Structures are given as structure tokens and as C-alpha cells.
Amino acid sequence: MTRDRIAIVIGSLQIGGAERQIAQIVPRLDRERWDIDLITLSRPGPLAEELEHAGFRIWSPPLTSAITRTGLAIRLFKALITGPWLLLWFLRQRPAIAHFILPEAYLIGGLCALMAGQKRMIMSRSSLAHYQSRHPLLFRIERFLHPRMSLIIANSEAIRRDLIREGAPASRLWVIRNGVDSDTLRPDTERGAAVRQSLNIAPDALVLMIVANLIPYKGHTDLLDALAGIRDQLPAGWQLLCIGRDDGIGESLRAQAAAQGLANHVQFLGSRFDIPELLNAADIGLLCSHEEGLPNAVLETMASGIPVIATEVGGTGEILEDGVTGMLVPARDPDALSRAILDLACDDAHRRDMGAQSRTEIERSFGLDICARAYDDLYRQIMSRPPQGKA
């Protein structure tokens, strides 16, 4: 059987929620049915190496891959030199389906594919569109592209509602929720004990964990404020582990922790590949974001049998049942966060019950294979019907 070629376009394959999701889903797609290329618009990143080892082709613009500096001017320059390269790629390769992941890939890739005459196109969005208020031109480009997509995928109902407000054709909207590998992410006390020992954390200490890159909207400042108000009410020796890439605010967060008397309780571990092992060391998972789509961090923590305290933003309430698999609190509310942390910190039995319920929910509804099958079905549907133009 002839395989149909799919081009998946994404900004990079650095370590991040959407990037990890793609790196895990692609190998689970039907390789007898699909021939998959991955295109990154900048330096591919460590996740690309795993995909290459699995036999997938990775394409990247040769010039932009060498640019490591950031900033608005650099991003505009990279877009200007990436566009012609990507347009030429589509003209030469002519994939059956082009699939754009996240806004940057959608804006640049969508326009280039459209100019190249690409007929079957998909866009995936995994975050709420708050960025559009800061960049009205990008909003107008997205509104132009939406009706030209064959299908648009949201990973939560919250994002689906966002897209409808933007004028995306409701008949072309699908919701495919993220999946997690429940075999790799699982409760394992031995792994947790080893991690605690490596980090000099006592076996019986209370461990809080937040897995989120150090970006202002992830709410680390709110979390430190919340902990500062209850630091002496928590069990002696408690620790907060902050896992994630420093995107520019790491120094200020360390200074805040020191000023609030938390320096001995907070460890910034940076970007890590051993998330499953680290999660086994935690008693409570945290998500303090001001905005989210459907946060992988919550799903991964639940899969590890750990209760989560999360801000009720985006699609978080679609996966976390308040009082059953975790606790939901308002965003930007350190006092509410403090109360929730104290409630769970002082009730071991409640934590264990919530963790068990979390694991059950992941196995039932959020497995990676479930997610991969949904993508297979979506691609098949697109190939089974004539290409769609503007709605």
C-alpha cells in the first residue's frame, strides 16, 4: 500500500509540552499508512534526535538553525529567511497533508503552504489566544488562515470556544485531548526514594513540585508568595522542586525566594529529561499558570499517582476534578493557593486517595495510544474526502 506523506511543521523540538506531545505521538501513528516528515523553523532540539533515531526525517532551515540569539528583531529576521526556504520545500516535496503545530508554525508555515498550493492543511492549537491582543497583525493573519484549513484541532473545549469566537468554521473544529504514556509515568516508590536521596531530601519530607518553564505566565511568583505566607505551617524540611527551562526570569525568582526566606526550601533544577523519576519524589504537584490550553504537566503528574493543585484556567478543569483528583484554585490568587497547599500538606490519606483517583482517570481517558488513534482517524478522514478550500 502506498503511504501518504504528512509534513508536521513546528517551531522547534526543544523540551516543552507541545513538543514532547508530538515527539511521543508521531512514533505511535500508523507507519504502514503514513510517511511523516517533521519540519522545525529553528534549531531542532534534543527531541529531534529521538525521532531521527526512530527513523523520521527532520528538516530545518540551514541558516536559522545556527541563530541562537532571541528577541523580536531576531525572530522577524528568522521569519524572513525561513519563509522562502519553507515555500520552496512545499513546492518541491508536495506532501499530502501539512499539519501546523503552535502559532509560529501556523503563521509562517500556513502562508507558505498556501502560496505553494497545498490543498490539505491542519492547524493544532494548544493554548488560549491571549497573545493575539499583543499582536493584532498576527490575529488578522490567523483569521485569514482559519477558513482555509481542512481541519483545526483544539486540545480542549476552552480552546475550541476561543477558535469559534475568532471565526473558525465550527464544522471543521475537532477536539483531541493530549495523551500521556502511563507505562513510563507511573507510581514507583523506589524511584522516588532514589531521587530524594540524590537531592538530599529526607524520605519523610513533604515535597511539592512544579513542572513549568520559567516564564511569567506560569505563575511561579504567585507560588513563592503563597509559600512565603505558610512556610512555618508546613512540615519541617519541606521542599519545592521547580523543573523547567529558564526563559529569562530564573534570577528574579531566586532573588524572590531568598528575600522571602525560602531559599533553603526551593530547588531550581532546570530543564530535565527524567521527569517520570522526579515526579515519583513528589507528594503534591502544582500548576500556577495564568493561562493554559490542556496542560501536559497536570496529566503527567496525575499519571504518576500524585494529586495536583492547579489554577482553573483554560482546559485544566476538563481534566482535573476538584476535590476528587486534585484541587482547583483561581489564578493570580496566592492566598487561595496557600489554603489548598495546607489542606493537602496536612492530610496524607486524602493525598493518597486523590493520587489513586488521578491515576485511574489517566488510564481511562488520557493514554497516548488513545490520542494517537484520534490523529490517525483525523488524517484518514482528511484523505478520504476532497480537499477543502475557504469555507
pLDDT per position as a tens digit, 95-144 = 999 999 999 999 999 999 999 999 999 999 988 776 666 667 888 999 99
Q: Is the dihedral of CA 316, 271, 365, 360 positive or negative?
A: negative
If one compares 65 and 145, the residue with the highest pLDDT of the two is 145
For the chain, domain boundaries: 4-179+368-383, 189-365
Average model confidence (pLDDT) for the chain?
92
pTM reported for the whole predicted model: 0.85
pLDDT, tens digit, 9 for 90 and up, residues 23-51: 999 999 999 999 999 999 988 889 999 99
pLDDT in tens, 262-288: 999 999 999 998 999 999 999 999 999
Is a pLDDT exceeding 90 seen at residue 76? no
pLDDT on residue 128: 77
- CA 330 – CA 228 distance, rounded (Å): 18
pLDDT at 78: 73
Three cell numbers written together for 345: 500538606
Query: How far apart (Å, rounded) are the C-alpha atoms in residues 342 and 231?
Result: 10
d(CA 298, CA 326) in angstroms, rounded, equals 10
C-alpha separations of 3 from 31, 151, 287, 299, 374 in Å: 8, 21, 41, 33, 18
pLDDT at residue 16 in the model: 78
3-state secondary structure of 326: strand
State the CATH architecture for 4-179+368-383.
Answer: 3-Layer(aba) Sandwich (3.40)
- pLDDT score of 72 more than 60: no
308-311 sheet: strands from edge to edge: 266-270, 239-243, 207-211, 284-287, 308-311, 326-329
* Architecture per CATH, 189-365: 3-Layer(aba) Sandwich (3.40)
Query: What pLDDT shows up at residue 127?
Result: 81
Question: Percent of the chain, pLDDT > 90?
Answer: 81
- pLDDT higher than threshold 90 for residue 234: yes
pLDDT of the residue at 131: 64
Cα gap 222→286, rounded to integer Å: 12
